[in-house]
Structure 1
Amino acid sequence: MKAMILAAGKGERMRPLTLTTPKPLVRAGGIPLIEYHLKALAIAGFTEIVINHAWLGQQIENYLGDGSQYGVRIHYSPEGEPLETGGGIFRALPLLGDDAFLVVNGDIWTDYDFSVLKHPIDGLAHLVLADNPAHHPAGDFSLRDGLVRDGQADDATLTYSGIAVLHPQLFKNCSAGAFKLAPLLRAAMTQGQVTGERLDGRWVDVGTHERLAEVETLIEASR
């Protein structure tokens, strides 16, 4: 199974760090966030990695190169102007092939074991959901009997971790341009085509300086 790391965001809430450094190259514990993913994916057996980029994207290519130093092969999908999550994945589909692929947000930090993700998937998507963090208490989706649904008023919700396995058929009615992934997932949920699991491990959505400091604390505690 191939994997895609989403690395096109500008990281505006992490300025001034991201004025001169793309968010996936921001360091935690002395290591760029995206490098944690590459190492974890390699350990899990992934060898073909697609990375999209936009803001300061050439820095990402210059730093990571062809991926050989991590034991993987990297293909890049430059966007120029960001295409949002859905549009960025759609643009990269020719590099990802016809089978289901893993996708992970480049601006999260986690010790999740990517090797546990199964392939093929039952449906159009399989989402990894995390306990709701303090900054997102309402969550995103509910998980019941292995199926993910859009959260209802009486449901206990979880937060989408930014880790998923997606099938290219999820994008069959899409066209080039900027669009979000969430509406595609919600449409597939109404058809019972989205499975899920609860994340086992540590996870931080590194969207602010405070959460970057949280990751630093977790890394230091584990050393």
Structure 2
Amino acid sequence: MKAMILAAGRGERMRPLTDHLPKPLLEVGGKPLIVWHIERLVATGVTDLVINHAHLGDRLVAALGDGAAYGASIRWSVEPPGALETAGGIAHARPLLGAQAFIVINGDIWCDVDVVALQRAAGTLQADGTLAHLLLVPNPPHHPDGDFALIDGYVGETGGPKLTFSGVAAYHPSLFAALDPDAPAKLAPLLRAAMRERRVTGALHTGHWFDVGTPQRLAEVDTLARSISAH
């Protein structure tokens, strides 16, 4: 199974740290955020990786190369300046991702998600059936209202308490088939349309998860990651 790590964002809230370094290369616990993802994926047998980039993308390529140092095979999806947003970036990378369901992880989060369970969920996705499986998390302080409801294994816009989308999911490529691969596109409208047809499943992740969106949260996660590594 293939996985895509989203690494094309500008990281405006992280400036000035991201003026000279793409956000996924910011370090927590002694290594870049994106390396935590690569190592977790490789440890569960997901070694065929696609990473998109735009802002300071050459730094990412220089740091990670072809992935061999991590036991992975990395292929790069280059986006134009300004990037293509989440759905647009995935659509742009579809030729590299192939015809089967794949995993997608935001490059600017830090988490301990169960990749094996996510692979199992990805295996249930079909072009004429369920198109996406999302991992949701309890709402963090900076996003108290959440995004979607999780009811009986399905994700929807209403019907229960809202949880926050973690930025970790599995998708069937047909979800993105109608998109222009060279145009920006947001993910939420695609997901909401599929939710209305009950074609989005989900699960609650109760372990570690942080949206490393500000220098303060970066420092908090760095402290936690170091304490975990010490054990």
TM over 0.5: yes
The TM-score bracket by the shorter chain reads: over 0.9
TM-score (norm: length of structure 2): 0.93
Once the 2 structures are TM-superposed, how far is the Cα of residue 218 of structure 1 from its aligned partner? 1.2
1:5 aligns with 2:5: yes
Aligned twin of 1:203: 209
Once the 2 structures are TM-superposed, how far is the Cα of residue 151 of structure 1 from its aligned partner? 3.5
Aligned twin of 1:124: 131
Aligned twin of 1:58: 58
Stretches (4+) displaced over 6 A = none
Once the 2 structures are TM-superposed, how far is the Cα of residue 195 of structure 1 from its aligned partner? 0.2
| Letter of the structure 1 residue corresponding to residue 94 of structure 2 | L
Unmatched tracts of structure 2, length 5 or more? none
1:95 aligns with 2:102: no
SS at match of 2:186: coil
Aligned twin of 2:152: 145
In structure 2, C-alpha distance between the alignment counterparts of 1:93 and 1:195, rounded to whole Å: 22
In structure 1, C-alpha distance between the alignment counterparts of 2:8 and 2:199, rounded to whole Å: 27
Q: Deviations over 1:41-77 (max 9, x none)?
A: 0001101000000000011001001101111100000
SS at match of 2:203: strand
Contact between 1:121 and 1:165, CA under 8 Å: does it hold in 2? Answer: no
Tell me the C-alpha RMSD between the 2 structures. Answer: 1.0
Aligned twin of 1:217: 223
In structure 2, C-alpha distance between the alignment counterparts of 1:86 and 1:183, rounded to whole Å: 9
Once the 2 structures are TM-superposed, how far is the Cα of residue 91 of structure 1 from its aligned partner? 0.3
Percent identity between the two aligned chains: 54
Once the 2 structures are TM-superposed, how far is the Cα of residue 200 of structure 1 from its aligned partner? 3.4
Q: Deviations over 1:173-195 (max 9, x none)?
A: 21130010111000000000000
TM-score (norm: length of structure 1): 0.97
Contact between 2:27 and 2:222, CA under 8 Å: does it hold in 1? Answer: no
SS at match of 1:173: coil
Contact between 1:12 and 1:18, CA under 8 Å: does it hold in 2? Answer: yes
Aligned twin of 1:43: 43
SS at match of 2:185: coil
- Counting only pairs closer than 5 Å after superposition, residues 136-175 of structure 1 correspond to structure 2 as 136-151=143-158, 155-175=160-180
| Letter of the structure 2 residue corresponding to residue 27 of structure 1 | E
Contact between 1:129 and 1:159, CA under 8 Å: does it hold in 2? Answer: yes
In structure 2, C-alpha distance between the alignment counterparts of 1:29 and 1:218, rounded to whole Å: 8
Choose from 174, 180, 190 the match for 1:184: 190
In structure 1, C-alpha distance between the alignment counterparts of 2:124 and 2:142, rounded to whole Å: 31
Once the 2 structures are TM-superposed, how far is the Cα of residue 219 of structure 1 from its aligned partner? 1.3
SS at match of 2:220: helix
Contact between 2:138 and 2:206, CA under 8 Å: does it hold in 1? Answer: no
| Aligned length in residues | 221
| Letter of the structure 2 residue corresponding to residue 137 of structure 1 | P
